[in-house]
Every structure is written in C-alpha cells, then in structure tokens.
A and B are shown apart, each in its own frame.
Chain A
Amino acid sequence: MDADTAIGGPDGRFPSTHVSLIEAAASGLSEAAMDKVIALYWKPVYRFIRIKFQKSNEDAKDLTQGFFASALQRDFFPRFDPTKASFRTYIRMAVERYAANQHGAENRQKRGGGVEFETVEDQEIATESPELEFDREWRRQLFFLALDDLRAHCEQTGKRAQFSIFEDYDLSDRDRLSYSDLAVKYGIPESTVNNHLAWARRTLRAFITERLRGTTSGARELHEEMRRLWK
C-alpha cells in the first residue's frame, strides 16, 4: 500500500471542500463551524476509507473530499439526531455508506474487465479494525489540533518558556528529563517547572474541550466524549 497523505500532518492544510459560505449556511452550519468539523474529521475519514475499502492514497483523498462536499450540499448535518448516536459515530456510519456506494459503483464499472487481486500489503491492512482506526485517528487529530492551539496561544501571550518546558517533557518521545534537570536547563526553580507543566496541561485540556464543544451536539455528548477520551 502506498504512503498516507501528508494532509493534516505537520504544517498541513486541509483542502477546501469548494463549498461556499452560502452553501455551508444552507446546511445549518457557519463556515467557521464547518471548518472545525472538517479539521477534526478529515484525517479519520480518510484513514477509515483507506483501511475499510483498501483504497490508494489518491482514491482515499478523492473519496474523503467527495464525502465532505456531498455532506455540505445535502442536509447531512441538520439531520444529525444526538439521541441516536454521537456525532463521531454518525459521521463514521455516513462515511461507510457513502464510500460503500462509491466503491460499489466503481466495481460495477470494472465488472467484466478481469479479476482484481488483493496485494499482500492490502490483506495485512485489512486485518485492522477500521472502526478502531477511525477512533484512534480522531483522538490523534484532536490532540494535534489542540496542541497547535496551545502553541499559538503561547506565542501570542508570551508564554514560550511554558511551551518549551511542556514540549521537552510531555511531547518528548525519548527518555524524559527530570523536573530538576529541566529546572537546571531553564534556570528556574523546580516548583516553577511543576507550575508551568500544570498550566500547559490545563490549557491543553481547555483547548481539547473547546475543539470537542465545536463538534458535539451539547453538554451531554461533550461530557461523554471527554470521558471516553481518557479511557
């Protein structure tokens, strides 16, 4: 299987769905609100389509793009009923239906044109659960966006030291420095390291909550999603 798209990765930009503000408003959401939904869900939808329907990078990107464009043009978002499922589940099920229809239509066109064989790589990918991958990618994307918010906030409010300490400790993929090592490195007391980390975590949590608030139906769903996030 070819490599995943870089969209949504470092410095990535989510592609515009080429839907005007009027069209977005017609579906009941402002453009800003729609952007939040797309920013959080573009990558999980893309990964879900890739794994569930074993699509190439380009095909998965096209289908993802097609899904959001179609969702905006139809009354997909106003039809969401929070009493039946969370917004996350609603999107995943809608993507599954949409991609299955597209996939079916594609196969019907190809029928008679020879038998398609799965590659070994594709078979390996297919053993993963697309639903679990969707949730994992959603979680990763949520943190990724909230971390971006935190970084921007720190730059705007002159809290670069707080972010650097947070980056050195909480975002480190290797052996973490101890609080005392960080205190020496930044020339500050250990208690200040502790306070800076507590502040950064608290603020990151607030940004996560805000991102979720923009993509859930209300307080109840927001709290449920928050609870699931830590499980």
Chain B
Amino acid sequence: MWLMWIYRILILNHEISMASIEPIILGLEGTAHTAGVAVIKGREVIVNESATYFPPQGGIHPREAAIFLAKEFPILIDKVFKRLPFKIDKIDGIAFSQGPGLGPCLRTTATVARAISLRLNIPLLGVNHCIAHVELGRTVTPVDDPLVLYVSGGNTQLITFLNGRYRVLGETLDIAIGNALDTLGREMNLPHPGGPHIEKQAQSGNKLLTLPYTIKGMSFSFSGMVTAAKKLLHDHSIPDVCYSFQEYTFAILAEATERALSCTKKPSVLLTGGVAANAHLQTIIQKVAQEQDTSFQAVPRNLAGDNGVMIAFAGTHLFNTGKILSVEDSQVKPRWRTDQVQVGWIE
C-alpha cells in the first residue's frame, strides 16, 4: 500500500516536471489583419489555424479588421479545440498578442483570450508580437543568438539580444517595408497584400530605374522611395518599377544588416516576418551573411506571416519563467516597443 503511494507520488512528480519542461500553450494572434489560433507543446505544433482579412479595396481599416477578427476567432477556436488530441483542460497557458498593433484588433484578441482564460481557469500570458517573430525563428531554425532582420507589413527592425533585452539597432523611420510594398501595389492596382504581387512582377522587369537610396546609419526610411516610385509609373512599365523598387529597398535592408553584423559580431542572421517569404530578399540577405562570414536562416514560408504558433512559442518562455498576467493587468499595448520587454529566458 505504502509503496503504491510512493509510486503514485513519483509518477505525479514526474508528470509535473514534464509539464514544466513542455507546457501546452494556446496562442492567439490578432494585431492586424490575421486571426491566428494554435496549440503547441514544447517545440511541437499540434494544431495551427488562421484566417486573413483581405480588404475589398484600399488598405486595412482598423475597425473592419477588428470586426473580421471578432467573426473569425470563434470559428477558428472551435476548429482547433475539436482537433486537439487531448482535453481542453490540459492546456497550461493562454498566450495572446498584447501589442504592438492596431488598437481595435488588439482589444478584440485580448477579449477572446480573457474569456477563455476565465472560463477554463487557465493563466494568461501577454506576448509582444515583434518578439514572437524572433522567438519563432529561434525555435524552428537552428539559430542561437542571431542578428534578426524582422520585416513585415507593420514593422521593419534590426533586433539583437544585448544586456538582458532585445535591442533595436536600426529600424524604419517612417513606414515598414511591407507597408511600402502594399502602398506601391495599390498604386498599380495590384491586390492586397502587394508584396507577393510585386515580387512576381519584378521577375519580368530588367531595367533598373533610378530611385533614392535612403539609409541613415542602421536605420532607413521608405516613404520617400514609394513617392519616387509612384512618379516613375507615368513613364515606365509596372515590371520595371517593381524590379527597381525591390532592388533599391532590399539593397538598403542588406546594407543596414551588414553594418549591424559588423558592429555586433553576431554569429548568425535570422530573417523573419511576413516579407521574409520573399525569395529575392532571402537570397540577398544570405549573401550579406556570407560577406560577413556568418550563418543564415529564414523562417519557413508558411510561418513567415502572422500566426498563432509564434505567439504560443513566445508564451512558452513567459510560462516557464513565471510571467503570468492577471486579467486586471491585461490591457493591450498598441505602442509596445521591442526593447521594453524584460527577457528573462535567455542567459
């Protein structure tokens, strides 16, 4: 009888320690136009579902996007919960994108997260969206301590880990590269998001037109380049403008990356974020890594854009370091900067 009890306690302890190594985390992403719901265990993705809002015309309207998220989250969550190979109460934490992003979208996502957390009595984890993109790369690719080029529709930053935080070495001084590509795409009547369409158009362009080259140390700015590219559309073909725009903007990103590498001497480069899916940008940044004798990794194409998996991976670190968020403190942070997060999970 006693032996039996000891055995049971041992098993129980074992299960608890297993749980602390590999917690099961639900990740909810909703900072802009993508609703993402995923469940992961350690490094393993169990379910991953997402839905993306495509505006019928123009760019993303925050309210329209939030309405879309509110409509999609229940459907996605239902789908995910049905496909789980275990009961819902096995989930150890609910991670959600607390910021930065569009206010209405963030509030919708936070409401969903709080509701699930209260209903199932599972702790909340508030994840910084930018850091989630970095943590995704650190989880699914073999990089450790990389210099990160994070390129997406909302952000363009050079990030690296220094003195207990992810520091932003350089960033866009106005609009993000993805935003620049989308804006230019709209000008040519290409569908949203413009990035992939511009990439395709650029493949048939071959004439390099002159554009400004704006780099300020390790920071850059793209809005003036969009204006200059728009003007070129009057006299030149769409493929040539797309080709030139990509060549110029990517050269700027490459140069800033090389400068940051040369300053920090980091052993690897990680390309992450939605624009990381661009094959041409991948080739260019890979050449930069070669130039500075470092290794290169890009996140897989299917996880480049916003998704619930990355939120869950980052949430796992918060869970493991005991950074539980109470519902009272879970207000969204639309302007939450990368370097404001205390990173307790990296030595």
Q: Do A and B bind each other?
A: no
- Listed in ascending order, the chain B residues whose CB lies under 8 Å from chain A are none
